[in-house]
Amino acid sequence: MDDEINNFTEKLDQWLCRQQEGGSRLANFDIINYIQIPGQSQNKGNNIQHSVEYSVSSPNKSNKKFKIEESPRVGGSAGIANLPFLDMYVKKMMRVGSLIQIKMEESIFGEEFLEQLRVESIKEILDHNWLSASIITVFSRYLYDKFISPNGLINKFSFISPHVSREDNLGNGIAKILLKDEEFKDKMILAPCNLGKHWVLLVINLNAEVIYYMDPLNGEPTKHQNFKTKFENALQIYRANSSSKVPKVSKSKKISWQKIKCPRQINGVDCGYFVMRFMKEVIMENEFMIPTNYFFDHKCRTYSHDKLTEVKEDWATYVVDDVFGKQEAIILPN
């Protein structure tokens, strides 16, 4: 694999030199279509194949579970393909301070916005550092595009942007998003939240008025009272302004918080990677509730290095194939 990576690096260097000597203007998709990434084969049209193969059924309208079969190579060194490519691309093509603008659609987060993915943020995942909100947001978009939308689950899962959950102090902004679409009441809403250099995941079932709390440090939501109050306020505002959607019997009921015994991180930087994997597994299980002891198929003391590498490869593959490869992004220089 090291020889393949070295050959890949040399090929990228040679191509860049030839392009620069000829005075050509470099384009993302030119590089991606030219390079054969180690460990991957090219399909018709020279598009890069995902190192994760998805086996899914037709759009799932009955809310039954669907299973995703992943290539056994994913997670081991033989399966790493787009991470080294992305690393080389960032070093060769993106200046310090440059950023990528990626359109986030209302159907994903309840509001449309441009995510500004800075080169410094991309380096976070390449160097396995603590993750910022931009990385988590792009991973949410990946889950929507690759799992939710193709399987007919757009009325089952949605997200609250970590930017909104961080900036909204009282819960008004969160409530505004929930009230935008009547179908939110039937969804499981995934809300990755930064508590201050630590990521947790909330999964909100509006119909049941339950908030599932998933903390890779096994913390208690009561230790973050302002954060807890913010989400309770948001759901109470939703109650008050959606009388036709919420049964009267629930009006006096307290919002239920259920702490999930999920896999635990063993260092100070992995929380963001754990939260991204939590989101993926919740969607893969396709249920309206999360067992207190977590899903049987994914229960473990902690995630292995391979499982975290798989999440990083998912992220890198999406950026390379779907952001760069389909000209999804606008790259702005510093």
> For position 63, what pLDDT does the model report?
47
pLDDT band for position 324 (cuts 50, 70, 90): confident
For the chain, give the mean pLDDT: 79
Give the percent of the chain with pLDDT over 90: 56
Could you tell me the sign of the dihedral formed by the alpha carbons of 283, 273, 230, 295, in that order? positive
- Mean pLDDT throughout 259-282? 97
- Mean pLDDT throughout 306-324? 93
Query: Does pLDDT of 224 surpass 80?
Result: yes
> For position 13, what pLDDT does the model report?
63
> For position 218, what pLDDT does the model report?
96
- For 190-215, what is each residue's pLDDT tens digit? 999 999 999 999 999 988 899 999 99
Lowest mean pLDDT segment, chosen from 119-128, 167-176, 240-249, 279-288: 240-249
- For 22-58, what is each residue's pLDDT tens digit? 544 444 445 544 444 444 444 433 332 333 333 333 3
CA angle 223, 128, 31 (to 5 degrees): 135
CA distance 315 to 26: 23
Three-state DSSP state, 87: helix
- Whole-angstrom distance between the N-terminal and C-terminal Cα of the chain? 35
State the Cα torsion 280-286-287-291 to the nearest 10°. -40
> For position 12, what pLDDT does the model report?
61
> For position 204, what pLDDT does the model report?
96
Across 195-227, b (16+ Cβ under 10 Å) vs e yields beebbbbbbbbbbebbbbbbbbeeeebeebeeb
> For position 37, what pLDDT does the model report?
45
Q: What does each C-alpha distance from 220 to 19, 198, 223, 226, 228 come to in angstroms? A: 55, 13, 6, 13, 10
> For position 51, what pLDDT does the model report?
30
Name the residue type at position 191. A
Highest mean pLDDT among 4-18, 169-183, 318-332: 169-183
Task: Enter the pTM of the model.
Answer: 0.80
Strand-by-strand arrangement of the 113-118 sheet: 113-118, 99-104, 330-332
- For 95-104, what is each residue's pLDDT tens digit? 888 888 899 9
- For 122-173, what is each residue's pLDDT tens digit? 999 999 999 999 999 999 999 999 999 999 999 999 999 999 989 998 999 9
CA 145 from chain centre, in angstroms, equals 10
Query: Does pLDDT of 317 surpass 90?
Result: yes
> For position 79, what pLDDT does the model report?
47
